[in-house]
């Protein structure tokens, strides 16, 4: 039944429907990680020889990577 319903709406086997809120949260976490990578690249270009700055940059990167690493999106079902 689910396949027939999906096909009726033009969805293929590789397509899923997710909640917009979940997708927005994922996009937000991805944006934060991208910005942190840019920050760390710039910081390390200026002070890669300073262990304190390297540690600070790594901490910043990890703080911004963790939300994305823990993100999980489930496909929506007819019950949702």
Please state, in angstroms and rounded to a whole number, the distance separating the CA atoms of residues 23 and 37.
Answer: 21
> Is residue 9 domain-resident?
no
> Is residue 34 domain-resident?
yes
> Is residue 11 domain-resident?
no
Domain of 23?
A: 19-74
Residue with tokens 């997710």: 18
> Is residue 65 domain-resident?
yes
> Is residue 44 domain-resident?
yes
pLDDT score for 8: 85
Number of structural domains found in the chain: 1
Please state, in angstroms and rounded to a whole number, the distance separating the CA atoms of residues 23 and 67.
Answer: 13
> Is residue 14 domain-resident?
no
At 47-77, the pLDDT tens digits run 889 999 999 999 999 999 999 999 988 877 7
> Is residue 49 domain-resident?
yes
């Amino acid at each position: 039944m689910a396949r027939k319903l999906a096909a009726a709406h033009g969805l293929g086997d590789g397509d899923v429907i997710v909640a917009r809120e979940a997708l927005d949260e994922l996009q937000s976490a991805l944006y934060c990680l991208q910005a942190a990578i840019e920050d760390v690249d710039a910081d390390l270009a200026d002070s890669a020889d300073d262990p304190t700055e390297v540690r600070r940059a790594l901490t910043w990167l990890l703080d911004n990577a963790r939300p994305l690493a823990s993100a999980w999106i489930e496909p929506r079902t007819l019950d949702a």
